[in-house]
Amino acid sequence: MGELIPWRDEVKRTGKLTLALDPSIGQHGWAKPFQDGVAVFNALRLAVTYELTTDQAKANVVAQAKTEKFKFGYDDGEFKKEEEEYAFDGTSVHGHCSVLSGNVRNRTTRSYELRVIRAFIFVPAKPSAAPFRRGIVGDPVKMVVAVHEMVHACGLDNDHHTVDDVFCWPKPSYDAQDPDKDRVEAYTGRRENKMIAGKPVPHPVMISMPPIVLNGPTQEKIRRLWEQ
């Protein structure tokens, strides 16, 4: 497991990440889930908050909705990421976060340090609710996906979190008629006894989101990343 890479110092000092929503986000019904996700994330008090902005060019994080596999690269004249193709399923409930890092000179020590430069969130344009019903998943599930990727964008990769909270492998629980009742369910890895035929039997504990669950150890990693 590698070391966590913090955002560059001038961003860390603000305790804030600006988030721009690409037009594709509104076009595919993701604007409200991201807006709600920002409020939920900020309420967790993780030493970093998100603030929505309309300036994509200057935003720390940009969110886009994608329909299928796509190519992505980055070049701002100082930092560059070679274009590569992403295998992306625009109908699933899985997003992707590309965190771009580079060597930044520390003005105090005059040495170069690896820091996060920008982050790009990609969400599925048409996450399907099949086979439970026709159409796409409801906003509650979209919001869980948005928060999941926002946590990645603030500095945590797949090696630095557990899988019993918003980073669970999702098990959909979609309402047959009402998208607003859709939820993401997952087993936490914990077990509690249930009385079956008069005997205690260990049974997996399941969580249902929203509300968002982000366990203590994961929260502490984020706080340390932004407070140090």
**Concatenated DSSP letters for the chain?**
-PPP-PBPHHHHTTTEEEEEE-HHHHHTT-HHHHHHHHHHHHHT--S-EEEEES-TTT-SEEEEEESS-EEEEEE-SS-EEEEEEE---TTSS--EEEEEEEEEE-TTT--EEEEEEEEEEEEESS-B-TTTSSSBPPHHHHHHHHHHHHHHHTT--TTSS-SSSTTS--EEE--SS-GGG-EEEEEEEEEEEEEETTEEEEEEEEEEESSP---HHHHHHHHHHHH-
Task: Answer whether residue 44 is part of any domain.
Answer: yes
Task: Answer whether residue 177 is part of any domain.
Answer: yes
User: What does the pLDDT average to over 51-59?
Assistant: 96
Q: How far, in Å, CA of 106 to CA of 9, rounded? A: 8
Task: Answer whether residue 51 is part of any domain.
Answer: yes
Task: Answer whether residue 33 is part of any domain.
Answer: yes
Instruction: Check pLDDT > 90 for residue 174.
Output: no
Please report, as a single letter, which amino acid is at residue 29.
G
Q: Which of 9-13, 37-41, 171-175, 217-221 has the highest mean pLDDT?
A: 37-41
Task: Answer whether residue 91 is part of any domain.
Answer: yes
Instruction: Check pLDDT > 60 for residue 1.
Output: no
- The number of domains in the chain is 1
Q: What pLDDT score was predicted for residue 157?
A: 79
pLDDT tens per residue, range 189-210: 666 767 666 676 666 677 889 9
The range of the structural domain enclosing residue 122 comes to: 9-227
Task: Answer whether residue 151 is part of any domain.
Answer: yes
Task: Answer whether residue 1 is part of any domain.
Answer: no
Q: What pLDDT score was predicted for residue 46?
A: 94
pLDDT tens per residue, range 69-102: 889 988 887 888 888 888 888 898 889 999 998 8
Task: Answer whether residue 192 is part of any domain.
Answer: yes
Structure tokens at 81: 């990421």
Q: What is the mean pLDDT of the chain?
A: 87
Distance of CA 209 to the CA centre of its chain: 14
Between residues 124 and 3, which one has the greater pLDDT? 124
